[in-house]
Structure 1
């Protein structure tokens, strides 16, 4: 029999029914509950309610700026359309309709989250009023019946972050007008938990930690580990100086192995559908693995592919060197069609060194193309049109006195660029304009090479000798 919260008179206390029970004075229970009520009211007023206000304000700001963002996109598309005259009008109307549909989805997502947040805010406000009434009241019964809702209200809704679609114009080709006019990316919606301590203020999302933390180490089995790529923690693809590609889960369990031809030392990427891509430089091919089957996508003539990455629009960027080892370039593919070649600056000078050492490549959130050029000892960044933006050749340090030689390169959700300094055994973090922010040098990195950041901003780093893959937390 559950006898909690039951009033018992002095006569009943002596009855056999209650002889094994423990009793509390009602005044003690009443005073304890009063303290809980006072604490909950303070917590709701000082922490929980303001947090919901902040969440609602963020959603309202996104909604308020929605039209301005879409107006810019519409203007960009219209400017491109003016060059196409009458032949492009039908395409513009079709894409505007597509954009309007995305905008409706965008608005609906934000409105849905805002409505849910407002509903909870209303419940919190009502609860706060009720608590104040109980605090002022001298009635015993409402106080004893009170049940705290702090745990329920402390489960904050996720922070909604939706990226605007982008419009990317292409050169006009009347035969392929619609396909080459441009692309509108779909809504990119991500949520991050709002974790707020009840005893301290919230840390800013995406801030660099004072001391990065080594979270886990995965033994891949490679003698020489070169590459890692992962869109999420469910599938972590790795490759090395071997004729296979391995997929692990975050606990280090081997999920899948893909065999490649001998001595290909594949470089790897994952496309927007989650399919594995890899280069085979001896075979001069770029390949896709789908449903366990490998198919050849592209075969090069006169050039050998090295590193590769997939852009936000689904294009493939590939670094490659010529057979005579005198030239290096970056090529953008749409499917198997060459869309862009990046090789020289505006003065006709080579952007990249002639060294055949791996030149790791990645695309930043602002569509900059970032190449870690080991031979040049520099990170070379061009915009999406292939024009040089800046070069980074290292940061002077009393403890990092060897020359800067970048290997792997990746970017995070805040458009920061992370690159391995192979000779100083650390990782440089830069902002999108090439300004040095800090090093990661406290996680006992040994011969780091390839690296990647997953969708949750976890950093994975390959240790070349020994095959260890290290997971590092470097953001709040």
Structure 2
């Protein structure tokens, strides 16, 4: 018997439930014995696609067990919602939890996913067609999960959790507006374009800034007087030299000074990992709105995308420039910081998949927006502004989506601290900007206009480097020397 099924008696026919299943219908996702194949054909208006059960099962991508690398995960814990192998079961790790066979549950999970996607497309999309921000989130989730229907990666399918219920209950009232006289120049500075705006890049390429609909209004949430350390994760690295990024609220990608990228859960357990295609150290990582991991390869002058099966596709190969920081935007574009080969220039490039859409390098007076070379990371704010931590300039440079300078932040005007040393940068749901101040062991929180709000300096931070936030605005801080990631709460 196939080792994949040694934890169950035998795989039975779905129709008669007694005989051994020898064939599988790909169209109907049904296990069939020899006698029931004829019955199955007669019941269908369209001819099923029948293959040997071994052929179907061989296409499933069973995950390797992170605890026992030589074993395949044949079972799934319904309580923890994680796959595990028979050795994990013997060790008592999931003692008392209900376990199901991955092979038997795979079709049921995909059928649930298929029904959810159909409801979103046919019922929920039309209901909220005028609510741009909701539809944007919905479409990102929908596109990401639609790809799961075609994957054979069991681990990814089992991680799917229905997102339909939270959208069924939404009660959105679409605002109406009265015409008012506005100062367009002021609005452009504060919020970028309110309607589609065509701009010319330095290479005279036309880029259309996506419409924001209504003006962004941040939620009214007060900051904590004393931020809290929620948890501390030891990632098993000696040093951490990058920016972590959230795969979900429960999993986080990290990188070190080697060629391996690793995904951990919030228990500090390794979930998966892969090696860069070139064998070089990645400079930065990001997760797209579609759910794919992207990394920049400085030495290879490339930007690369990793799909759900850990297959790496080169998105961009750049001549005479080297990519550093990268982030994904609300429109699923990529923003990439580029340094020229000779180290004399720096710019921000926007890509849609492999297509170059925008270049941001100079202000209105033709002066460089960013210093050349050195460490730089970036993030897109909720109002579509592009925020760059320029370490060499000891400043954060914020430009609108059209590339117009909004402001520079160099720390509070009065301080006795050492020189502002920005490394990692991220933004939250309130359009606040959070910056890791490396030498001062602290985080700066500024608002969308560049006004200083407060420090986070009470959580025993040591040389904070990378920052990211989850969907609940919890802050994750990657410490350079300790190899730890700390989860902090800073909103009430």
TM normalised by structure 1 equals 0.59
1:163–1:218 CA distance, 2 compared to 1 (3 A): farther
Provide the residue aligned with 1:470 in structure 2: 486
Q: 5+ residue gaps in structure 1? A: 1-99, 111-156, 173-178, 188-203
DSSP-derived class of the 1:248 partner: strand
Deviations 1:296-345 (A, max 9, x none): 11000000000000110111100010000000100111121111111111
DSSP-derived class of the 2:252 partner: strand
1:237–1:323 CA distance, 2 compared to 1 (3 A): same
Q: Does the alignment pair 1:439 with 2:439?
A: no
1:160–1:238 CA distance, 2 compared to 1 (3 A): farther
DSSP-derived class of the 2:243 partner: strand
CA contact (8 A) 1:185 1:313 kept: no
1:352–1:106 CA distance, 2 compared to 1 (3 A): closer
* 2-structure distance, mates of 1:160, 1:383: 31
1:259–1:211 CA distance, 2 compared to 1 (3 A): same
* 1-structure distance, mates of 2:392, 2:465: 14
Provide the residue aligned with 1:290 in structure 2: 307
Which residue, 412, 432, 439 being the options, matches 2:428?
Answer: 412
What's the offset of the Cα at 1:437? 0.3
CA contact (8 A) 1:270 1:276 kept: yes
* 2-structure distance, mates of 1:290, 1:185: 29
Which residue, 343, 348, 356 being the options, matches 2:366?
Answer: 348
CA contact (8 A) 2:258 2:280 kept: yes
What's the offset of the Cα at 1:250? 1.7
DSSP-derived class of the 1:227 partner: coil
Superposed counterparts of 1:414-429, under 5 Å: 414-429=430-445
DSSP-derived class of the 2:244 partner: strand
Provide the residue aligned with 1:71 in structure 2: none
* 2-structure distance, mates of 1:300, 1:411: 28
Which residue, 225, 247, 258 being the options, matches 1:210?
Answer: 225
1:293–1:209 CA distance, 2 compared to 1 (3 A): same
* 1-structure distance, mates of 2:409, 2:131: 37
Provide the residue aligned with 2:383 in structure 1: 366
* 1-structure distance, mates of 2:463, 2:258: 18
* 2-structure distance, mates of 1:394, 1:249: 34
TM normalised by structure 2 equals 0.57
What's the offset of the Cα at 1:274? 0.8
Provide the residue aligned with 1:235 in structure 2: 251
What's the offset of the Cα at 1:466? 2.4
Superposed counterparts of 1:238-277, under 5 Å: 238-260=254-276, 261-277=278-294
1:163–1:296 CA distance, 2 compared to 1 (3 A): farther
Q: Does the alignment pair 1:305 with 2:320?
A: no
Provide the residue aligned with 2:104 in structure 1: none
What's the offset of the Cα at 1:265? 3.3
CA contact (8 A) 2:207 2:357 kept: no
What's the offset of the Cα at 1:185? 8.3
1:160–1:453 CA distance, 2 compared to 1 (3 A): farther
Provide the residue aligned with 1:392 in structure 2: 409
CA contact (8 A) 2:282 2:295 kept: no
CA contact (8 A) 1:321 1:327 kept: yes
1:161–1:328 CA distance, 2 compared to 1 (3 A): farther
Aligned length: 306
* 2-structure distance, mates of 1:160, 1:457: 23
* 1-structure distance, mates of 2:469, 2:172: 18
CA contact (8 A) 1:264 1:283 kept: no
Across the aligned residues of Structure 1 and Structure 2, the Cα RMSD in angstroms comes to 3.1
Greater helix share, 1 or 2?
1
